[in-house]
Amino acid sequence: MSRLHLQINRPMATEVKVPALGESITSGIIAAWNVKDGDYVQRDQAIYELETDKITSEGLAEVSGAIVLKAAEGDEVEIGQVIAEIDESAAAPESSDSPAEEQTSESAEKPEAKSNAVSPAVRRIAAEEAIDPAQVEGSGKGGRVTKGDMIAAAESRQDQSAEQQAPNVSVASGSSAPVSERTTRKRMTPLRRKIAERLVSAQQEAAMLTTFNEVDMSAIKSLRGTYQERFVKKHGIKLGFMSFFVKAVVRALEEVPAINAMIDGDELVQNHYYDIGIAVSTEKGLIVPVIRDCETLGLAGVEQAIIDYAGKAREGKIGLEDLQGGVFTITNGGIFGSMLSTPILNAPQSAILGMHAIQDRPVAVNGEVAIRPMMYLALSYDHRIVDGKEAVTFLVKVKEALEDPTRLLIDV
Q: Just list the catalytic residues.
A: 383, 387
Distance between terminal CA atoms of the chain?
94
Angle between helices 147-165 and 120-129 (to 10 degrees): 10
Q: Please state the length of the chain.
A: 412
DSSP code string of 42-99: -TT-EEEEEE-SS-EEEEE-SS-EEEEE-S-TT-EEETT-EEEEEETTSPPPTT-S-H
Phi-psi map region of 326: left, alpha, beta (phi>0 left; psi -120 to 50 alpha)? beta
Three-class secondary structure of residue 265 per DSSP: coil
Edge to edge, the sheet with strand 13-17 lists 13-17, 82-87, 65-69, 40-41
Whether the CB-CB separation of 308 and 165 falls below 8 Å is answered with no
Packing angle, helices 218-235 and 299-314, rounded to 10: 80
CA–centroid distance for 384 within its chain: 30
CA–CA distance, 215 with 400 (Å, rounded to integer): 8
Three-class secondary structure of residue 33 per DSSP? strand
Angstrom distances, CA of residue 311 to CA of 166, 288, 306, 317, 318: 37, 14, 9, 8, 9
Rounded Cα distance between 136 and 123, Å, is 12
